[in-house]
Amino acid sequence: MLFAKKKKTPTEITNQSHKLRVTKSYFSHRMSQLSKVRLMRHSTVHDTTLLPESKDSGNACYAKHANYSCFLSGDIRVNLLMPLMTIHTMWLREHNRLASELSQINPKWDDETLYQESRKITIAEYQHITYKEFLPMIFGSQKMKELGLLIEEDKPYNGYDINTDAGIHNAFASAAYRFGHTLVQSNVQLRDENYNVKAEIPLRDTYMNPTILYNRGFDDVVRGMVGQKAQEPDHYTSEEIRGRLLQRFYMTNGYDLTAMSILRGRDHGIPPYLQWREFCKLPVPNSWEDMKNFMNEDYVETLQKAYRSIEDIDLIPGGIGEHHVEGALLGPTHICLLGKQFSNLRKGDRFWYENLNHPGAFTKDQLKEIYKISHARIICDNSDDIQKVPKNAFVATSDVNPILDCDEIPKLDLNLWRET
């Protein structure tokens, strides 16, 4: 394996992607890749309801399912598992939907203008949904306020800071944000139009497997992802990714994603858990007994069997084992690291969707339209025929989060983009 070495700089892993985490699902940072997934025909990324087909015979997915083409996207991991393919497809459809409608509203726009404007709106929608719906679920309302992450639609945004680095930190990408692996269920559900479970597929059978999406199963997968509850956010990980990752595909026993993530952290030079508690100005334990103030006693005993010293604990097992902050899904160390990263992504991005102080910014009226967007609306606009969806598609249905008809969910009015 080849490594590029840098001199007279801190030991750091080179980021091969764009430093800002926009909708990389299909907006590849590589022009050669982008040219493959983007067609210059009405600015659509691909002129089908699914992702572009990958013709790479060396693709492992292609080798397994020769009768079904695997997918091509801006992210090479698109074929890893079926829910991931579905999410990529959803956002591709949204871009194409915007491009199609904008071409009707502004018939004189050329392909490049249509592509760039559709891309700009899609990125803004993605950012808004992340900060308005997803992050509050992770951090809780109080921490969102403390971290300065609230989207305040009634106030002008003046948060851009030229001195803030919006790049992705190693500890975030290689460790802290991987807490999401603990949320993964052992199966993928398919649900009908009333959100009743039709089938449950072991996660291992969805790896590199596009067949259901080709057989008109897109809506069933989407409803399954919306209706199925995640696992509890804790130190437990499903056996489907802890020892069975890519099982029956590359090897008999499969990979252990948790072990791989820990080893990746070491390979990337991620400092151990206690150093991050110090970085976050949190109390630093001096003994295994002290650790029990932050974690369950049984888990501390498990760590004690795996590590010679508390100073050796890796960030991943340390962070996911902490007691959760009240109202949040994470402990204080991960809240600190994720909060810092998401704050920097917003403050350090000159082209952040709320920032109206740069050439090419949205108008105030256009921004008001972006504020209407929700994940539920994206599903309604880009499914095959889903007619109803929970108000907040990230959260289980309840009295405060009912299932609504798509007609009840606010939508974007693209007439605000009409060029006069």
What local confidence, expressed as pLDDT, does residue 42 receive? 40
Q: How far apart are CA 225 and CA 220, in angstroms?
A: 9
| Host H or E run for residue 188 | strand 187-191
Each residue's pLDDT tens digit, 256-299: 888 889 998 999 999 999 999 999 999 999 999 999 999 999 99
pTM recorded for the entire structure: 0.89
Q: Is the pLDDT of residue 2 over 80?
A: no
What local confidence, expressed as pLDDT, does residue 8 receive? 61
What the chain holds in terms of domains, given with CATH numbers, is 17-160+351-419 (1.10.640.10), 168-184+230-348 (no CATH)
> Would you place residue 41 in the very low, low, confident or very high pLDDT band (cuts 50, 70, 90)?
very low
What local confidence, expressed as pLDDT, does residue 178 receive? 93
Q: How far apart are CA 315 and CA 338, in angstroms?
A: 13
Q: Which of 5-19, 32-46, 87-101, 159-173 has the lowest mean pLDDT?
A: 32-46
Each residue's pLDDT tens digit, 378-406: 999 999 999 999 999 999 888 999 999 99
Q: How far apart are CA 306 and CA 304, in angstroms?
A: 5
Q: Is the pLDDT of residue 374 over 50?
A: yes
What local confidence, expressed as pLDDT, does residue 251 receive? 59
Q: Which residue has the higher pLDDT, 344 or 206?
A: 344
Q: Please compute the mean of the pLDDT values over residues 362-372 and round it to a whole number.
A: 98
Q: Is the pLDDT of residue 352 over 60?
A: yes
Distance set, CA 169 to CA 14, 20, 30, 206, 301 (Å): 11, 11, 21, 30, 31
> Would you place residue 26 in the very low, low, confident or very high pLDDT band (cuts 50, 70, 90)?
low
What local confidence, expressed as pLDDT, does residue 77 receive? 79
Q: Residue 188 forms beta bridges with which residues? A: 201
Q: Is the pLDDT of residue 94 over 90?
A: yes
What local confidence, expressed as pLDDT, does residue 259 receive? 87
> Would you place residue 204 in the very low, low, confident or very high pLDDT band (cuts 50, 70, 90)?
confident
Closest CA to 271 of 169, 180, 416: 169
Q: What burial class does residue 194 get, using C-beta atoms within 10 Å of its C-beta: 0-12 exposed, 13-18 middle, 19+ buried? A: exposed
What local confidence, expressed as pLDDT, does residue 176 receive? 94
Residue 181 annotated as lining a ligand binding site: yes
What local confidence, expressed as pLDDT, does residue 219 receive? 94
> Would you place residue 3 in the very low, low, confident or very high pLDDT band (cuts 50, 70, 90)?
very low
Q: Which residue has the higher pLDDT, 34 or 371?
A: 371
> Would you place residue 43 in the very low, low, confident or very high pLDDT band (cuts 50, 70, 90)?
very low
Q: How far apart are CA 398 and CA 195, in angstroms?
A: 14
Q: What length is written for the chain?
A: 420
Q: Is the pLDDT of residue 33 over 80?
A: no
Q: Which residue has the higher pLDDT, 91 or 58?
A: 91
Neighbours of 342 (CB within 10 A): 23
What local confidence, expressed as pLDDT, does residue 217 receive? 87
Each residue's pLDDT tens digit, 324-337: 999 999 999 999 99
Q: Is the pLDDT of residue 205 over 70?
A: yes
> Would you place residue 76 in the very low, low, confident or very high pLDDT band (cuts 50, 70, 90)?
confident
Q: Please compute the mean of the pLDDT values over residues 2-17 and round it to a whole number.
A: 58
Which two tokens mark 64? 């397994």
Percent of the chain residues past pLDDT 90, beyond the cut? 64
Q: What is the mean pLDDT of the chain?
A: 87
Each residue's pLDDT tens digit, 208-237: 888 888 877 899 999 999 999 988 888 888
> Would you place residue 241 in the very low, low, confident or very high pLDDT band (cuts 50, 70, 90)?
confident
| Host H or E run for residue 332 | helix 332-347
Q: Side chain identity at 159, as an amino acid letter? A: G
